[in-house]
Amino acid sequence: EDVMHVYREECSRGKVKGVILQFGGQTPLKLAKALNAQNVPILGTSVESIERAEDRKLFNELIQKLKIKQPKGRMAASLEEALNAANEIGYPVLARPSFVLGGRAMMIVHTEPELRNYMATSVEVSRERPVLIDEFLSGALEVDVDALSDGKDVFIAGILEHVEEAGVHSGDSACILPTKNIPQNVLDELRRITRAIALELKVIGCINIQFALLTGKDGT
């Protein structure tokens, strides 16, 4: 309502080209559908692309299409489904509400009692609001990649190596720029994947992707 009040006030003074949703974290992204339904022009990345990135099922399909590795994950609309998903994936799991990229109500769950408590106290669960149960990659190195795209070209602005291991929310962690401990071939692969995702999503403007890097027996 507040945004619409501002928008209508600005419209009374002349033609408004649109609104930008790319600054302010999760809050503006969650406004995208409602503003679009009010016929407010969205500048930059489209509402459809935002939903494709945030909806777990749509994003999984995108990642599979691009043949990119990702942790195993399931959606659960009830406690029973969550327990079954965690048993199938194997503890520890990362539990969080769907359609949220900002880390809110996210928890690393190590046991079934912890998951039962999370489902009972932390989130509202339904078919419309399922919970995501994802494989948690213990000991992974987290990397943030920030980029800009015009829909045709992708500029990698920065690759940030996290000091804390994956699992500490990026808003609470420290990063190193430029990276110090990531091999050149891995950096090249991060750039390749970032470009592929940005172009597939038809991003116009900013994009941030968080990666988890696991060191295998062969050092990769």
Q: What percentage of the chain carries pLDDT values higher than 70?
A: 90
What is the tens place of the pLDDT at every residue in 77-127?
888 999 999 999 999 998 887 655 555 577 889 999 999 998 888 666 666
The backbone torsions φ and ψ at residue 143, rounded to the nearest 5 degrees and listed phi first, read: -135, 135
What is the tens place of the pLDDT at every residue in 134-190?
898 888 899 999 999 999 999 999 999 999 877 777 778 899 999 999 999 999 999
- The pLDDT assigned to 218 comes to 45
Across the chain, mean pLDDT equals: 87
- Confidence (pTM): 0.81
The predicted model gives 184-197 an average pLDDT of: 96
Q: At what angle do helices 2-11 and 26-37 cross, to 10 degrees?
A: 60
Omega into 28 within 30° of 0, i.e. cis? no
Ranking 24-38, 133-147, 150-164, 205-219 by mean pLDDT, the lowest is 205-219
The predicted model gives 33-39 an average pLDDT of: 91
- Name the band, by pLDDT with cuts 50, 70 and 90, for residue 198: very high
- The pLDDT assigned to 89 comes to 93
- Sheet strands (E) in the chain: 19-20, 42-43, 73-76, 93-97, 107-109, 131-135, 141-150, 154-165, 175-176, 204-213
The predicted model gives 34-55 an average pLDDT of: 91
Each as own residue / partner, the long-range contacts of residues 86-93 (CB below 8 Å, 24 or more positions apart, any chain) are 86/112, 86/115, 86/133, 89/133, 89/134, 89/135, 90/135, 92/136, 92/138, 93/133, 93/134, 93/135, 93/136
- The pLDDT assigned to 173 comes to 83
Q: Are 71 and 47 in contact (CB under 8 A)?
A: no
Q: What percentage of the chain carries pLDDT values higher than 90?
A: 55
